[in-house]
Amino acid sequence: MAKQMVKERQDITGSNCLRPVSGKVIVDKKGIKDSWKEYMEKLMNEENEWDHGISTEVKEGPSDCIRIGEVVAALKKMKRHKAPGLSGLSAEMIQATECIGTQWLLDLCNGIVKGEGCIPEDWKSSVILPIYKGKCDPRECGSYRGIKLLEHAMKVVERMFEHRIWQHIEVDDMQFGFMKSKGTTYAIFTVRQMQENFRVKRKKLYFGFVDWKKLLIGFREK
């Protein structure tokens, strides 16, 4: 039973054969790599199409320098025991150096803000691991979730910029995902409460679930 439990919890990170859109099963290594490359390039480079304009207040002016307190706060928010990027440098290593690592990140951030505004070339590369979702056909690329192993230093910089952006934007209260002190479990709890209340009153309750992404793809194909 223990062996079975361990086997069920193991992540499937790939398959010995793939079935692309053409329907022909591919078993050779080169064909599998090319199929993954084609799928990931299309997935990662797909842009969202908006059918309406986004109205927001534009803030102009010189960028403020990153402060040492922002670097320390961003490092504290980093989760531990996470897989690093290609360099092998993790957040724990930066924290272990204390002032040296903090100052290095501070100089790097200010170089990005006050310099040419470009990130280092090393940060543009990452490792993508396909993890099986546990449903649908394991031979199809769409049945896998791509996990990108990014540089931890870049994640720290992103956290600082994200914190600054959140100070200037407003999000609708109906948004649950990726919100502080909120989560999709709150939305699920609300739905369950509605179900229980309607069941007690012996009234009918209807829910509609729409996958907008697949719906838009279907319209494009037609």
Q: What is the pLDDT of residue 12?
A: 59
- pLDDT attached to residue 183: 79
pTM for the model stands at 0.61
Question: What is the percentage of the chain residues whose pLDDT exceeds 70?
Answer: 79
More confident residue, 219 or 19: 19
Q: Summarize pLDDT for 136-176 with one digit per residue, the tens.
A: 777 888 788 888 888 888 888 888 888 888 887 777 777 77
Give the residue, 47 or 133, on which the prediction is more confident: 133
* Cβ contact 132:143 at 8 Å: yes
- How high is the pLDDT of residue 197? 93
**pLDDT confidence of residue 199:** 92
What are the contacts of 113-122 at 24+ separation with CB within 8 A?
Answer: 113/63, 113/64, 113/65, 113/66, 114/63, 114/65, 119/154, 119/157, 122/86, 122/87, 122/151
For the cut 60, the answer to whether the pLDDT of residue 19 exceeds it is yes
Q: What number is the average pLDDT over the span 31-59?
A: 71
**pLDDT > 90 in the chain, percent:** 6
Q: Are the C-beta atoms of residues 126 and 150 closer than 8 Å to each other?
A: yes
Give residue-wise pLDDT tens across range 188-213: 888 899 999 999 999 999 888 776 66
Q: Span 116-134, mean pLDDT?
A: 80
Q: What is the pLDDT of residue 192?
A: 92
One-letter amino acid at 89 equals L
